[in-house]
């Protein structure tokens, strides 16, 4: 199973969630919301060879954490993945738009200057603005739009720009979300939980819930089983994590054997 967007550090007992991921062999992109959270979140995965820790600065925190941009730049050479970053145009965040835009465009620029990264991107009520920023910085790496909720036209533009998509159970329960997922290139889709922010059955989602997303994808794609979906997703993950433009190839991303250990880059 693959959870390409989860906030492991925000669970009440992160170690328990990590232990279950290790037991199940789940690949997790463990995203962070502030650069100051990165080292501690990285340490959570020290004995979890399939968990990768992304360096992020969430748009909802942009106005409070603008000063952490320096720390972001300092840590970037050690981080193979970047996220959660992006823009949020919802009413609660609109007031801090200038800070959001400053941080997002600066992060894309420093990623480009350092050879590009795989980027997990938030775009709630800001799809067109996110795409404008990505269009202006195509050398920033490989964008993975998490929980994309734009219009079909915006989705078509994202696809043309080379974006990937991480899709959670919530996107697959409604007709609008399913129609968007059906429009995404099958070879650029991964599953995500967005736990613990996203809810599954009235409780905070966990990485295990990506199984529900795989069931939903089987329906949208007309595949007989979640097993076939997992094969598609595993191929996608391998391609994404070894893609040129996503910076240093992560050939161990699919390794399940804990004895293989991990490289310095996470």
What is the full DSSP assignment across 93-131? HHTTHHHHHHHHHHHHHHHHHTT-EEEEEE-TT-HHHHH
What gap in Å lies between CA 54 and CA 35, rounded to an integer? 10
- The angle that helices 127-136 and 152-160 make with each other, rounded to 10 degrees, is 20
225-244 residues near Mn ion, rule: CB under 5 A: none
Question: Based on CB atoms, which residue is closest to Mn ion, 3 or 194?
Answer: 194
Which residues face 53 on adjacent strands? 30
Question: Based on CB atoms, which residue is closest to Mn ion, 5 or 266?
Answer: 5
126-185 residues near Mn ion, rule: CB under 5 A: none
* Short-list 38, 65, 85, 50, CA closest to 207: 50
**Cβ of residue 144: shortest distance to Mn ion, in angstroms?**
12
**Cβ of residue 61: shortest distance to Mn ion, in angstroms?**
12
What gap in Å lies between CA 255 and CA 233, rounded to an integer? 15
**Cβ of residue 162: shortest distance to Mn ion, in angstroms?**
22
82-121 residues near Mn ion, rule: CB under 5 A: 84
What gap in Å lies between CA 227 and CA 259, rounded to an integer? 26
Size of the site for Mn ion (CB under 5 A): 2
Specify the 3-state DSSP secondary structure of 244: coil
First to last CA, the chain: 19
185-204 residues near Mn ion, rule: CB under 5 A: 194
Peptide bond into 196 cis (omega under 30): yes
Q: Which tokens go with 236?
A: 């996608």
Question: Based on CB atoms, which residue is closest to Mn ion, 1 or 31?
Answer: 31
Under 8 Å between Cβ of 142 and 134: no
**Cβ of residue 244: shortest distance to Mn ion, in angstroms?**
27
**Cβ of residue 34: shortest distance to Mn ion, in angstroms?**
13
**Cβ of residue 7: shortest distance to Mn ion, in angstroms?**
6
Q: Which residue is nearest to Mn ion (CB)?
A: 194
Question: Based on CB atoms, which residue is closest to Mn ion, 72 or 147?
Answer: 147
Question: Based on CB atoms, which residue is closest to Mn ion, 84 or 88?
Answer: 84
**Cβ of residue 261: shortest distance to Mn ion, in angstroms?**
29
Under 8 Å between Cβ of 83 and 146: yes
Question: Based on CB atoms, which residue is closest to Mn ion, 83 or 216?
Answer: 83
In the shown chain, the binding pattern of residues 46 to 85 toward Mn ion, with x for contact by CB under 5 A and - for none, equals --------------------------------------x-
Q: Which residues would be at the binding site for Mn ion (CB under 5 A)?
A: 84, 194
């Amino acid at each position: 199973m693959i959870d390409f967007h989860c906030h492991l550090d925000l669970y009440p007992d992160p170690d328990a969630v990590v232990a279950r991921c290790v037991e199940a062999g789940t690949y997790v992109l463990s995203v962070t919301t502030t650069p100051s959270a990165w080292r501690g979140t990285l340490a959570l995965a020290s004995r979890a060879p399939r968990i990768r820790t992304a360096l992020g600065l969430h748009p909802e925190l942009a106005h409070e954490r603008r000063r952490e941009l320096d720390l972001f730049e300092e840590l970037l050479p050690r981080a193979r993945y970047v996220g959660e970053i992006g823009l949020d145009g919802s009413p609660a965040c609109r007031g801090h738009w200038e800070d959001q835009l400053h941080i997002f465009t600066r992060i894309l620029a420093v990623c480009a200057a350092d050879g590009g990264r795989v980027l997990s991107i938030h775009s709630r009520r800001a799809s067109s603005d996110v795409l404008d920023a990505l269009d202006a910085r195509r050398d920033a790496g490989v964008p993975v739009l998490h929980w994309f909720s734009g219009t079909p036209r915006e989705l078509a533009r994202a696809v043309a720009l080379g974006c990937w998509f991480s899709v959670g159970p919530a996107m697959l329960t409604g007709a609008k979300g399913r129609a968007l997922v059906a429009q995404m290139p099958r070879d650029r889709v991964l599953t995500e939980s967005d736990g613990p922010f996203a809810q599954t059955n009235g409780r905070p989602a966990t990485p295990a819930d990506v199984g529900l997303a795989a069931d939903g994808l089987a329906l949208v794609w007309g595949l007989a089983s979640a097993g076939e979906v997992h094969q598609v997703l595993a191929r996608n993950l391998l391609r994404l994590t070894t893609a040129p433009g996503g910076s240093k190839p992560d050939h161990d991303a699919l390794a399940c054997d804990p004895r293989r250990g991990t490289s310095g880059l996470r």
